[in-house]
Amino acid sequence: MLASKPHLWYTACVRASVWRAQAIDSTEYEALCKGLRNPAPPPITDDLSRWMAENQWAALDVLTTMPAFASLAKVRNLLLVLL
């Protein structure tokens, strides 16, 4: 279960570490923490939808447009090809 206490604790620690290190700017940090979503993401394949929810896919699409997470675009494209 993704919403378990250890997962939430880990997520909070990662967020705090990233923010303190100033590895990303405030816009990227907000997108990561709030899970901003693209209202019209690219279509998700049936196989990929078994592994990832539509809202996660839409959030991933937003992150791929930001400089700090630009390499996620390659992962997203690979997921579309493989799944």
Q: What is the pLDDT along the chain (83 residues), one digit of tens a residue?
A: 445 556 666 667 676 776 666 777 878 878 877 888 999 988 888 888 888 888 888 888 888 888 888 887 777 777 777 76
Give the pLDDT score at 1: 42
Cβ density class 55-71: b for 16+ within 10 Å, e for less: ebbbbbbbbbebebbee
| CA–CA gap between residue 6 and residue 72 (Å, rounded) | 25
HEC sequence for 23-78: CCCHHHHHHHHHCCCCCCCCCCCHHHHHHCCHHHHHHHHHHCCCHHHCCHHHHHHH
